[in-house]
Amino acid sequence: MPADRTIRLGFLLAGLVLAADLATKAAIVAWVEYGASHAWLPVLNIVHVLNRGAAFSFLHDAGGWQRFFFIVIALAASVFLVFMIRRPGTSRTERIGFGLILGGALANMIDRAARGAVVDWIDVHWGVHHWPAFNVADIGITLGAALIVLHELFGRKQAREANG
């Protein structure tokens, strides 16, 4: 696939993650009362919680300064990710991963700027043991990061072996 098409693919995936995340968060805010939890599957609840911190509610109760801190971090990360998607020599797999991360970072940044917190709504659990609630943006970030790590561990090695 030509480089310009893989660049477009990275940005397309970013846009899809961004749109899906903002749409699902809008639906949760509109239809699920804050603090509510609705069983959807035996291991999945739909909840409506606000996270003022980062992953796993890191810095959730920090007093408010973290909102601007995480917005600045997301902006800086987004600039870096755009650069990485557009950079010559970036592989298709990396562009896909960077695009997924970019969409998630932008979506959570927009949510944080608009609401002062990120809406989390997916609650995965096994019995009474719950994983911290998350959202579509978090899925994009996690999948993108995993894809890049796997590519670094296995994809680059295969490319080196194929080239001699």
pLDDT in tens, 105-142: 999 999 999 999 999 999 999 989 999 999 999 999 99
Return the pLDDT at 164: 43
Q: What does the domain layout of the chain look like in residue ranges?
A: 3-162
What is the pLDDT confidence band of residue 73, given thresholds at 50, 70 and 90?
very high
Looking at the predicted structure, is the pLDDT value of residue 61 above 90?
A: no
The yes-or-no answer on residue 120 being catalytic is yes
Instruction: Check whether 44 has a pLDDT greater than 90.
Output: yes
Cα-based angle 151, 140, 6 (whole degrees, multiple of 5): 55
Calculate the average pLDDT of the chain: 90
Distances 40 to 31, 115, 156 between C-alpha atoms, Å = 14, 26, 40
Catalytic one of 21, 111, 123, 138 = 138
> Torsions phi, psi of 69, nearest 5?
-60, -50
Split at pLDDT 50, 70, 90, the class of 75 is very high
In the annotation, is 4 catalytic? no
| CA 59/CA 49 separation, integer angstroms | 15
Cβ–Cβ under 8 Å, residues 85 and 11: yes
Name the pLDDT band for 155 (thresholds 50, 70, 90).
confident
CA separation, residue 18 to residues 52, 79, 102, 106 (Å):
19, 16, 8, 7
Q: What's the CA gap between 120 and 55, in Å, rounded?
A: 11
Task: Give the phi and the psi of residue 41 in degrees, each rounded to 5.
Answer: -135, 165
CA neighbor of 35 nearest in space, from 96, 117, 98, 119: 119
* pLDDT range class, residue 62, cuts 50, 70, 90: low
Choice among 55-59, 130-134, 142-146 with the minimum mean pLDDT? 55-59
Of 2-11, 13-22, 46-55, 125-134, the range with the highest mean pLDDT is 13-22
Q: Please list the helix, strand and coil fractions of the chain in percent, rounded to the nearest 5, in that order.
A: 65, 15, 20
Catalytic residue among 21, 111, 120, 123: 120
pTM of the model: 0.88
Find the helix packing angle between 3-31 and 136-150, rounded to 10°.
150
